[in-house]
Amino acid sequence: MTLDRRSFLKSATAAALVGGTSASVIADGERSTGALFKLDYAPHFGMFGGHGKNDIDGELAFMADQGFRAIEDNDMRNRPVAEQERIRKGLDKHGMRMGVFVSHAEFGKVTYASSDKSVRETIKKEMTQAVEIGKRVGATWTTVVPGRYDQRLEWDYQTANVIENLRYAAEICEKAGLVMVLEALNPFRDHPGLFLTKIPQAFLICRAVNSPSCKILFDMYHQQITEGNIIPNINKAWSEVAYFQIGDNPGRNEPGTGEMNYRNIFKHIHSKGFKGILGMEHGNSIGGTEGELAVVKSYRDADNF
């Protein structure tokens, strides 16, 4: 969840798979229904811009036609209320779920790791807004990236500050049934200097916060870079994991374009009875409608277990 993400989200295009494991372009005015996937993979707006004609309603219809049952939208809080309501209507129409939207993602300064009173004021404002958005769009999960670490403060004090600030935020979210999902981001390729970087670290914090409204967003792209060991870490952190995000490495594109064996990873997640959402937070490796088709085919292939 970053400004970097916007660059690939803007360049992402759409893909379609019609029936079984073969792909074809949908002609204007035609609709074909693809089989549902075994897991709820969630595209984002722009990924299917070609076939959805860069229109919210068109993209939602296309996603649903291809068997997707969810979406995610990092920038939901920046959309006008009327647009948020329009998205909710589209989701309801197609029987789809809303995945994550971002409520806090600070990359330039210390926030949750600070004991400054102004941080609590920001948390109250952001989480109150997140609760309102969640109700409006039917969202259960909201992403929190807890900001940078403090180079002048002992690490354990910072951890204590993060826990206390998250407890405060969780109190606001619990009343509305909203779940913060903490995202650990890699410090090597994309986000040096952030406080939260690893799944074991996120696990410790969630256990300490001890709230149903504070869980883990397991972004497999980031964790392949930071620590690897994806399936064992899924197992160890399972009780605190509420959401997954997808992206192959290197490149941060669709499954099958990098080194990760997503078919085995998806099979493992499915075998554990996961009923949540896996966000397709990546770009398309190929441009245009050809690339759009390649993305959906990659999910058909990875979901074929």
Nearest to 305 by CA among 37, 15, 70, 68: 37
Residues 64-121: tens digit of each pLDDT: 999 999 999 999 999 999 999 999 999 999 999 999 999 999 999 999 999 999 999 9
Model confidence at 3, in pLDDT bands (50, 70, 90)? very low
Burial of 28 by CB count in 10 Å (0-12 exposed, 13-18 middle, 19+ buried)? exposed
Q: Are strands 141-145 and 214-219 parallel, antiparallel or unpaired?
A: unpaired
Helices (H), 31-182: 56-65, 81-94, 117-137, 155-174
Residue 102 forms beta bridges with which residues?
A: 143
Cα dihedral: 44, 47, 50, 55 (round 10): 20
Helix (H, G, I), strand (E, B) or coil at 286: coil
Mean pLDDT for the stretch of residues 243-256: 98
Per-chain mean pLDDT for the chain: 91
Residues 118-145: tens digit of each pLDDT: 999 999 999 999 999 999 999 999 999 9
Model confidence at 262, in pLDDT bands (50, 70, 90)? very high
Q: How far apart are CA 161 and CA 249, in angstroms?
A: 33
**φ, ψ for residue 27 (rounded to 5)?**
-75, 160
- Asked if the model's pLDDT at residue 219 lies above 70, the reply is yes
Nearest to 52 by CA among 36, 40, 65: 65
- Asked if the model's pLDDT at residue 218 lies above 50, the reply is yes
Domains, the chain, ordered by start: 3-302 (3.20.20.150)
User: Are the C-beta atoms of residues 33 and 65 closer than 8 Å to each other?
Assistant: yes
- Asked if the model's pLDDT at residue 6 lies above 80, the reply is no
Two tokens at 185?
């981001």
Residue 128: other Cβ atoms inside 10 A: 14
Q: How far apart are CA 180 and CA 102, in angstroms?
A: 9
- Asked if the model's pLDDT at residue 166 lies above 90, the reply is yes
Helix (H, G, I), strand (E, B) or coil at 183: strand
Q: Which amino acid is at 285?
A: S
User: Are the C-beta atoms of residues 134 and 140 closer than 8 Å to each other?
Assistant: yes
What pLDDT shows up at residue 33?
59
User: Are the C-beta atoms of residues 147 and 112 closer than 8 Å to each other?
Assistant: yes
Q: How far apart are CA 69 and CA 74, in angstroms?
A: 17
Q: How far is CA 284 from CA 10, 90, 243, 281, 298, in A?
A: 10, 24, 21, 10, 11
SS (H, E, C) 225-273: HHCCCHHHHHHHHHHHEEEEECCCCCCCCCCCCCCCCHHHHHHHHHHCC
- Asked if the model's pLDDT at residue 231 lies above 50, the reply is yes
114 alpha carbon, distance to own chain's centre = 25
What pLDDT shows up at residue 34?
82
Model confidence at 168, in pLDDT bands (50, 70, 90)? very high
User: Are the C-beta atoms of residues 210 and 172 closer than 8 Å to each other?
Assistant: no
Q: How far apart are CA 293 and CA 51, in angstroms?
A: 10
